[in-house]
Chain A
């Protein structure tokens, strides 16, 4: 009985032939067996049906020319089928290098490890998400409380926070952010000025463009835009840095040494934002009003003095206080949420990216949600 591979057009093409005659099982291999040629034959299931039981499978490789891993792939499948059919596999008749590689391959490969199958259960997923969100909120709150305790430790002179870290963080969060804060707030102020000019000119209320730009910038836009920029720039960086530390076991080593993470890592991160955000907010107000002024001078018949007089007449001092309080609240939120997200990240490179993305998204959504709450509070207290 003879079984062989499909007839191939070229003599050099890889081929095999199984002869089961005169009580011997002989597999003849011939041709060039190179994976890159994409013509490696396969062995059909049950090819040893007609082979002699308990008689070794020998190989004739006299016509075998060049070969690479693809021959080993083929021989391994032969070895597995032979083992299933109780036919001893005599690899001594194979090239020595092939024997060495085949000896590394098991006759009974371990079953492929599978993950639990995925079942679509929307209610379970929503429930899981809700519980996880509540848990995260609770943990973030605990981180906040621990960080506040760190402030009392500073007062008591027993803090683990290093001043040099705080200075470095302040430099990164403050002066280094000035350019982007300038650009964003100037452009937002310009857009407000432009929209105001186009609309208010219809009612001959050109002078009130200054009121619109001033109030909108000081009360809402400067603080919200600055917070969004900081959550993207600084919050994302905090989350990525802490997630990387998680992957390098640096967080573990802090825990083992008993150094409180809340004081060593989170407190300087949060304080740097708390110290810099009010100043960035004021700077953002200046740049926003400057943007509105520039557009007004170009589009309307106003003077610099006139625009500034109108602006300061419209914007009361308590608006700046309110904006400043909001900027501190946003700073605390961005600092705590980004550090918390970094701390609960996984340990791989992909997890660092996920943590940074989550921190930015949480920061932006959280800042806008907090701003809505502040708007309601402002209405209640009459600011």
Chain B
């Protein structure tokens, strides 16, 4: 290991991971490191297992084989209580935002603070206002999720994910269902949050323009051979595709169509 690598160990490290639902293997031999403060993209065709890998990384699905380390500590080898402690470093924005429908937006953001800190009510209220302010939703503090549009819910979901000042932020299809302007604003927000909070970001997305503009590094997962087929930033994989499938994916076209065009 070089001196630089020894001084800056990866924040997240996935080693020989195999993911499966029962006996059905989804992906195997997954290996990658995520550097602190980077934006890491999980890419691949529909159904290749990106969201399954994300589930495993946030503690919702135990891998069949392999190791997943957070700050050098094996996540799945740790005790249940230790895993909960580690998970407090995570903030997750789910695809549907997953706001709790029986609570107001403010209560959604406040709940993790009430559960896992000993802050005074006034401090919690100020932090809730801040987190909602960061995503431009401070006016919605007293509204219920059902009173918000899809984009607003996503931003409020992000505010909730930021509640505990996480070291790692996971985004599952953040731009899905959003118009291009809202999607671009969300990209800018992600970049600003990375720079402002110093958070490391893992993002699952199909939105290529978004990935090209924000991701520093990434992993491309294949669905046919059930194993990762390329490593590198989305823009690098676009310019240096290792095979035809990645080339097609990154340029949003089919090989047979390309051949017809000559």
Contacts and interface: CB of A to CB of B under 8 A. Distances in A.
Range of interface residues on A (Cβ < 8 Å): 20 to 34
Nearest to A346: B146
B139 A36 contact: no
B120 interface: yes
Given A70-B127, A111-B139, A350-B102, A101 B117 contact: no
Contact of B119 (A35, A97, A109, A114): A35
A199 interface: no
A82 to B, nearest CB: 16
Interface string A81-111: 0000000000000001110110111100111
Contact of B118 (A36, A76, A103, A114): A36
Contact of B139 (A97, A104, A112, A115): A112
Contacts of B247: none
A72 interface: yes
A348 B119 CA distance: 31
Given A106-B133, A113-B139, A350-B101, A36 B127 contact: no
A36 B123 CA distance: 10
A348 B123 contact: no
Counting contact residues on chain B (CB < 8 A from A), the size range is 20 to 34
B134 A105 contact: yes
B133 A105 contact: yes
A142 interface: no
A40 B130 CA distance: 14
B123 A40 contact: yes
B196 A348 contact: no
Interface string A105-129: 1100111111100000000000000
A113 B142 contact: yes
A104 B138 contact: no
A348 B138 contact: no
A38 B123 contact: yes
A73 B192 contact: no
Contacts of B102: 348-350
Interface of A: 35-36, 38, 40, 68-70, 72-73, 76, 96-98, 100-101, 103-106, 109-115, 346-351
